[in-house]
A and B are shown apart, each in its own frame.
Chain A
């Protein structure tokens, strides 16, 4: 592998903008290909995926903005692939989902592949997609687990394609370990197709402009984003700001997440020292997920439209003691950390910075993704695994009500159309609407949550991972809290029974699951 010599020059201000469009266009087009050809409802309907371009050193050059929780986690995947592979060949594709080696939780399978210019490795492209099932103890692979080994098949960074040839043995092994193998096969093919698009588009740039210029502007764009991010942080009041919030465990305990956010000159450090240790249960997170949450918080507080790449992350430092619940160590269970704990990390980081930037930070949003997985067998005996997440109230901002019925912070997936869902799965939606008066009071009101009621047409295993069922989303500046969420089972006689935020049960046909998602917190004292 020949290194390409880099001459660091001052960027042309015009080309800088031109290349921003070029790289962003490539990542977006990869995403569109994945969406259009994917099989999991998570991918094709809910857009639970990310696509990115990295330089040869593994620094992110561009990412199609879909899912913030992938912000810091995608670079970790690329780094893990770089560590695992000694020699890259054109046509190689590494697959991984191991949270302790570049993944975030097992359902998110990441592919990383190299892009060559001649015989020099110059870029990587990567896709991460949420697969509807990767095996493990419950359908949908978001179980109430206590160890990673219960959560599904663990894929360390391994070559799924070597020199363009599919490693059939590996694929066969993976597919035998999941509940819906044909769907997995289709999703992996869709990811591979997205990579082909990314590789082709980058190669076209090399032909048109020369690989030197393309590489230089990949570097210039990172420097540009770093400059913009540092300039913004430098305008924030220096100091150390503390905050804490908590999670809800099935046994009633509420482990704390603590942060001290230190703004010093043009950089910021989030230190999670004092956070409770790893918990028994699936709520731990690996460090890249914690980093994603912190990067997201900083990105939200910078109003300029800067391209998201490694430069944005350079002035943001994240520390957490190994073994605490936001820096999990093997074999801690992490299935829900990615979707639930990441939201609480975001909340606590915002709460700390609300002291520094009271006119910018919004009240807490619903603070959960309300993960629902339903699995069982259809009428013809075919196995299915269904996963979706539900929106809720967004927190009110200074001078702006919160949106109702949306995903907040670390997720932004779409819902699955009721008509698409009922045609594919043996359950029916009885109600889908906004949850009246669930937003927090205040000068600006928090957004309303959602009510969604499922009726099972056949027996099925239902697993829920949801938060903010006990501790309400907080208001700010005197605004009231949003309503806590509520989960209920309604039996055939119409009798409603409360169920906790996290449960996994085998339920009879005719049972209804009614979920009321939390409202957002309010902002400011209500004037009337």
Chain B
């Protein structure tokens, strides 16, 4: 009975995955950049989604508005004396060694930054009461400058939010059309700059996102819509329109959810240990899931810190479109400059002249031109010539130069994978790599070997895994509040923590409706440190559970930093509560085991440069014809819609009953059996 549509908007394509009664239909349309709902309308028209279908949507409207500075005319109201906190930031310059440098424009220019007399002290006491009369003048000024939205951030409002709420209420009554974001609603946590940025981002993207969602609702008709948040959970449209800052980092979240759920089923465990690897055109997103989808409250978007929970993803500027060059010192460099989707790689034939990673893959025989929707024989020849020119600078032939480009690009991606694994205290050799995105499955074997990973799962539809992931996500809402107390105090009298958790739980339940599953966590640190680690807090709140959280903190500190200090007092900084409702999730029945063998899927051979030296004749398979139980050895190429899989030598492939390609490193196969 399920009728579900996952819609994921990317830079080039908008991907659709439609699931109706276990039948999966994959569809792509070109993204409509100015109004993403246009492409959605076109795509929905092409699918047979019923009028009652549930749509789960990942949108980059908020992200793009922010990155391209196309948000609302936003104003800012702060405590007197602190109107420039947003502009000063953390007082560091972005580039250490550049004499000429510029910062991105602040989201709120000087002329729209206002301040009012009021002050709360560090202990929560009111030092200077808020003057409501002054707000009238501010309202007049806001009107005069044409502000469309307003962010209100007062110092220490996370201790006492009365002034912020009063200011919001008074200004809203004077200016009913103004969209107002209060820091106490968006991020009631300490550190004024981060709180200011996060609240301002919300105010800045809110009108744009709200208008977009209104247009979307007219496109989808009666169908219900859920929107993906940065934290990997979905939320309903009214809440998304109210707090769109929660959507800003949602782009890569669907893919991580999708990869995690694929691994849960393929590995038959609720807590798989996976490394996700999403390689696209301009960037690569990686995440480490140690049995759970990891979240963080410390993310950056462009130069701005965003302190809302998001999936812990590390992004590097290396993708298929990354440009290769030889620098003045003679080193081969790849990226971070990218040819992007336009002009794109040389082989696209759209005017690109600089060698990219995709061109290198093509020259090595790892990609087949005929499978591209763009480019032709001439552009393929141009790519070959471009690699020959690059090779001449290095004293290498075109194929050897191409191998070099791949190797440097892989080094960047390997560093990204190490950053989320080894550097956080996790051993990647115990993890399963899940490559997806257009280019991920081409580079997976090389990276797995570099990291010592022994198993790779290439999902059935690596090119649209993000859209599939949307359908698999829970409906979630999270909230948090600063609570700066020594743990010993919270444990001694657990009523304070218990009261706060139940207050936040009520908020979460109200936001979600129904009766969500509630979980809590604490941000803890050693008294005197400045950075916290988030550890779970089991419910109900009581001394034993609080003690368990403190113990979990010592262990997490040991894991992350290599030491712990059991004798040091632990301090609580923030309490977080998350609620989740299971979404309307699709299930996929296992395919029957095939009676044939993999040879029926083989579609020929082609020469491929795998390492240095001569090319190897490599068998090619049509992925759609591979069936459950098929097995074969690398090297091999697997062709499918939107992606190509390169299986290196020493890897053995098996197709499981969900049509995932499971790759095992042969050197380790026997040992682990």
Contacts and interface: CB of A to CB of B under 8 A. Distances in A.
Given A432-B88, A433-B84, A412 B329 contact: no
Interface stretch (B92-100, B199-207, B289-297): B92-100
Contacts of A25: 415, 418-419
Interface in A9-57: 13-14, 16-18, 20-22, 25, 29, 32-33, 35-39, 41, 44-45, 47
Contacts of A231: 328-329
B94 to A, nearest CB: 8
19 contacts: A17-B331, A21-B412, A33-B561, A37-B557, A39-B529, A47-B92, A197-B562, A204-B422, A304-B328, A403-B102, A406-B93, A413-B92, A414-B91, A419-B191, A419-B192, A423-B122, A432-B82, A433-B81, A434-B87
Contacts of A361: 99
Interface size class of B (residues with CB under 8 A): 35 or more
B673 interface: no
Contacts of B100: 362, 397-400
Contact of B561 (A36, A306, A428): A36
B531 A419 contact: no
Contacts, number: 190
Which of A414, A432, A453 is the most central at the interface, judged by chain B CB atoms within 10 Å of its CB?
A432
B332 A14 contact: yes
A16 B329 CA distance: 10
Interface of A: 13-14, 16-18, 20-22, 25, 29, 32-33, 35-39, 41, 44-45, 47, 65-66, 68, 182-183, 186, 189, 193, 196-197, 201, 204, 224-225, 227-228, 231, 296, 299-301, 304, 306, 360-362, 390-391, 394-395, 397-401, 403-408, 412-415, 417-420, 422-423, 428-434, 450, 453
A417 B190 contact: yes
A16 B85 CA distance: 42
Given A35-B531, A398-B100, A423 B190 contact: yes
Given A193-B561, A196-B562, A17 B411 contact: yes
A362 B95 CA distance: 15
A18 B561 CA distance: 26
A197 B88 CA distance: 33
B566 to A, nearest CB: 13
A17 B91 contact: no
Given A13-B330, A306-B329, A418-B192, A44 B530 contact: yes
B102 A400 contact: yes
A65 B85 CA distance: 25
Given A224-B331, A227-B330, 9 more contacts: A14-B407, A36-B560, A37-B563, A189-B565, A299-B97, A405-B87, A405-B91, A419-B155, A423-B190
Given A406-B92, A417-B190, A419-B190, A397 B415 contact: no
Which of B98, B423, B560 is the most central at the interface, judged by chain A CB atoms within 10 Å of its CB?
B423
A387 B194 CA distance: 22
B103 interface: yes
Interface in B76-121: 81-85, 87-93, 96-103, 121
Contacts of B83: 433
Q: Across the A-B interface, give the 7 residue pairs with the lowest CB-CB distance, nearest first.
A: A397-B100, A431-B81, A400-B100, A422-B122, A44-B530, A433-B84, A362-B99
Contacts of B641: none
Given A37-B529, A362-B99, A414 B90 contact: yes
B528 interface: yes
B329 A394 contact: no
Given A422-B122, A423-B122, A428-B121, A189 B155 contact: no
Contacts of B88: 391, 404-405, 415, 432-434, 450
A407 B90 CA distance: 10
Nearest to B410: A18
Contacts of B126: none
Nearest to B157: A419
Nearest to A303: B98
Contact of B121 (A47, A404, A422): A422
Contacts of B156: 419, 422
A412 B423 contact: no
A189 B98 contact: no
B491 interface: no
A300 B99 CA distance: 7
Interface string B315-334: 00000000000111111111
